[in-house]
Structure 1
Amino acid sequence: MNGNWEGLRADVRRTTEGLIASGRESGVQVAAYLHGSPILDVHVGSADRATGRALGGDTPIWSVSTGKALTATVVHVLAERGELTYDLRIAEVWPEFGAHGKERITLRHALTHTAGVPVLPADVTPEDFADWDRMCAIVADAEPIAPPGAVKAYHAWTFGWLVGEVVRRVTGRHVSQVLAEDVAGPLGVADELYLAVPAADLDRLARVEDRNLAALFDYASANLPHFDRVAPPGVRPGAQVGSRADVLTAEVPATGTMTARAAARMLAALIGEVDGVRLISPARVREATTPDGPPGPEWVFGQETTWGLGYSLDDDGSFGAAGSGGSLAYAYPELGLTVAATKTLLGAGDGDPMEDLRVLIRDTVSARR
């Protein structure tokens, strides 16, 4: 690892070990790259508390919506090659999707969560999620909640099939295959960065468990009128879904399974060069991270939210994604820094230790510029 970052690594290790010792966490990975080189790769705790298997830096963890950063990256790599454009009308390559007046929805709308099709049927099941054609048919037949571009509504699950089916129709390959061959493979992390986990690799994964995320979903269901429409009770994005082999091995590209170090490496190759690999140009990074979509609160959670093309944009100049339960992966182009964290206990509502670590790493690097 480049530079003298022993103090930062010690601080992160001390914090993560404290979280494990207190019972707040069971397994945590935190990683960071600076100017294309790793400066931090901390992994503590267990991958599976039932067996006592230790969590390694190479142990992939289902990381919920942090996977959207992987799916978005696939799109930008394909756009860089001229294989698709952001303003492609989805129905041009996926004619069935044009039903119910959706013919004007573009890939840009899907990436910015303004396509107007965040809703799933109330009775959708994890078994449905394991059937790509069924889920694409459901999305194609969906009636929009608003005209394209009119409303910011987090497409918690439908983002994956919207974007993923465009990728499949354009390239003839599933989005997980494009990720493996065109993103993870060149970076040497094809066995640590997944949108669909090969069945042979399931035993390598960490086992996610619920801490109190399910309780937060119950609260959201009771208090947010649109929450159950976007995340129906049978498929709330928590441990009950993320521990299922059929879901983990399926194409569900609104979520992803990854190590922190692989996610940090991928983002580093977006904003710079990593061992000779740069995924997209600086101009495309700027385009992908320019705020897009209407102002105002988001439809599901009612909060002010800013998206670029597939990435969440933060006020501190970073872009990336975060997942329910505590995972995250963000890049700071101005600092040349990327930070990722993932963990096995899915929790919420009582602080965000992974976000605190992201801020610690960011501020430490910024202070040494």
Structure 2
Amino acid sequence: MTEARPRNAAQTRAEEILAEVTAEGEETGVQVAAYLDGELVVDAWAGLADVAGARPMEADTLVPAWSTGKGVAAALVAVLVDRGVLAYDTPVAAHWPEFAARGKEHITLGQVLSHSAGLPQLPPEVTPEELFDVPAMGSWLAGQAPLWEPGTASGYHGWTYGVLLAETLRRATGRTCDALLRDELAGPLGVADSLLFSVPDRLAGRVARCYDGDWAAYLDGMPPHSPFLVFAPRAVLPVAPLANRADYRRAALPANGTMTARAAARMYAALVCGELDGVRLVSPATLKEATTPRTAGEDRSLGFPLLKGYGFMLGGAGSVVRSPDGGFGTNGSGGSAASGDPAHRFSFALTKNRMSLNGLDKRLFREVRAALGIRRG
């Protein structure tokens, strides 16, 4: 995809902020992009993709964006629901018979997407090698009992969201999540090589190296019995060394994504505008179904309220998603984020390779919208 780099007050402000945070060493490499009314209005990048090689961050650098990929997976499922290939209220076991074991026969695809299936857990001693063997991990989950009655509560399914979706999609369609993403969503939008679950070897040279800021220390401070460690045991905590592994890069695990900010913003622009450059991903009815609140109350895994639709986190006051009421998206470990705001036909994405808790996504979201004259939300 080739697009002219825009020039307006929002672009200038984004460039200023990126230059500031990379010059001061607060960030290593950053990309930010935004669409308004179907037009790319911010497309900025700065810093380094790899410090050792002094490789610059570019517009097409692929950045491990962690759970920002959950929103990509949610959009892909919405495309398949819109076409009648899947349905949110269909039991997972209808596609994956072995999954019905131990009281899971009624768990629906929608409950998996809304993190209310009761299956956030991984084996406590799981290794990265075991986690990245997605079919084997799917077989392990198929044999587990839910930690709570499905549908009665929600608790973030950090890694298992991707394992469950990968196997369900494969069973339902006969195609991998990577092939579905390429053919049904990213390809039509012109970003097939920039919006990915796993990274093919031919694109490995475009991937940024990740670095830990204060994110790793934050996770290291988790107490031993923290619910967080149920869905992300210490050996598979989402920290920079894990993202830099070749087997992580190759794992077809739609709990995570590797992408450019430009590609993520383009996907959300297509969703909030209904159509982008002649491409319609889903109908308004399906998007409404996917972004209607499905959970309320405290998230059992994270310990704070987190309003969820079918795979998207929902915006509004107090939300972790940088979007107002009616908006939706997902954030990734260490500060990457992407979201859409239908009321203003606005989308936003930030990718960065230094994992930190500095709130750069919130700052850029606020200042870009202000520069564009979007004063509400």
Q: TM-score, normalised by structure 1?
A: 0.95
Structure 1 partner of 2:210: 208
Report the CA distance between 1:2 and its aligned residue.
Answer: 9.5
Whether 1:301 and 2:308 are equivalent positions in the alignment is no
Q: 1:121 to 1:152 in 2, by over 3 A?
A: same
The AA in structure 2 aligned to 1:171 is: T
Structure 2 partner of 1:137: 139
Report the CA distance between 1:364 and its aligned residue.
Answer: 3.5
User: Matches of 2:299 and 2:134 in 1, distance apart?
Assistant: 28
Give the 5 Å matches for 1:150-165: 150-165=152-167
Whether 1:254 and 2:263 are equivalent positions in the alignment is no
The AA in structure 1 aligned to 2:241 is: Q
Whether 1:72 and 2:74 are equivalent positions in the alignment is yes
Greater CA drift, 232-241 or 355-364: 355-364
CA contact 2:163–2:254 (8 Å) conserved in 1: yes
CA contact 2:5–2:43 (8 Å) conserved in 1: no
Q: 1:79 to 1:210 in 2, by over 3 A?
A: same
Task: State the SS of the aligned residue for 1:139.
Answer: helix
CA contact 1:93–1:169 (8 Å) conserved in 2: yes
User: Matches of 1:253 and 1:367 in 2, distance apart?
Assistant: 32
User: Paired residues, what number?
Assistant: 365
User: Which one of 157, 174, 191 corresponds to residue 172 of structure 1?
Assistant: 174
Gaps of 5+ in 2: 317-323
The AA in structure 2 aligned to 1:159 is: Y
Give the 5 Å matches for 1:169-318: 169-222=171-224, 225-272=226-273, 273-293=275-295, 295-315=296-316, 316-317=324-325, 318=327
Whether 1:354 and 2:361 are equivalent positions in the alignment is yes
The AA in structure 2 aligned to 1:209 is: Y
Whether 1:345 and 2:346 are equivalent positions in the alignment is no
Structure 2 partner of 1:335: 344
Report the CA distance between 1:66 and its aligned residue.
Answer: 0.2
Structure 2 partner of 1:113: 115
Task: State the SS of the aligned residue for 2:220.
Answer: helix
Give the 5 Å matches for 1:11-50: 11-50=13-52
CA contact 1:331–1:338 (8 Å) conserved in 2: yes
CA contact 2:33–2:42 (8 Å) conserved in 1: yes
Task: State the SS of the aligned residue for 1:30.
Answer: strand
Tell me the alpha carbon deviations over residues 193-220 of structure 1, each in whole angstroms, 9 at most, x when there is no partner: 1001101211111111111211111122
Task: State the SS of the aligned residue for 1:73.
Answer: helix
User: Matches of 1:120 and 1:221 in 2, distance apart?
Assistant: 17
Report the CA distance between 1:296 and its aligned residue.
Answer: 1.5
RMSD between superposed Cα atoms in Å: 1.6
Report the CA distance between 1:61 and its aligned residue.
Answer: 0.3
Report the CA distance between 1:368 and its aligned residue.
Answer: 7.3
User: Matches of 1:289 and 1:220 in 2, distance apart?
Assistant: 31
CA contact 1:129–1:247 (8 Å) conserved in 2: no
User: Matches of 2:32 and 2:5 in 1, distance apart?
Assistant: 18
User: Matches of 1:77 and 1:90 in 2, distance apart?
Assistant: 17
Structure 1 partner of 2:372: 365
User: Matches of 2:249 and 2:46 in 1, distance apart?
Assistant: 23
Report the CA distance between 1:228 and its aligned residue.
Answer: 1.2
Report the CA distance between 1:5 and its aligned residue.
Answer: 5.6
User: Matches of 2:223 and 2:84 in 1, distance apart?
Assistant: 42
Q: 1:145 to 1:368 in 2, by over 3 A?
A: closer
Greater CA drift, 227-236 or 256-265: 227-236
Seq. identity, %: 42
User: Matches of 2:260 and 2:252 in 1, distance apart?
Assistant: 18
Tell me the alpha carbon deviations over residues 135-190 of structure 1, each in whole angstroms, 9 at most, x when there is no partner: 11121112211111111100000001112211111111111110011111111111
User: Matches of 2:152 and 2:221 in 1, distance apart?
Assistant: 28
User: Matches of 1:277 and 1:241 in 2, distance apart?
Assistant: 35
Report the CA distance between 1:4 and its aligned residue.
Answer: 8.4
Report the CA distance between 1:283 and its aligned residue.
Answer: 1.5
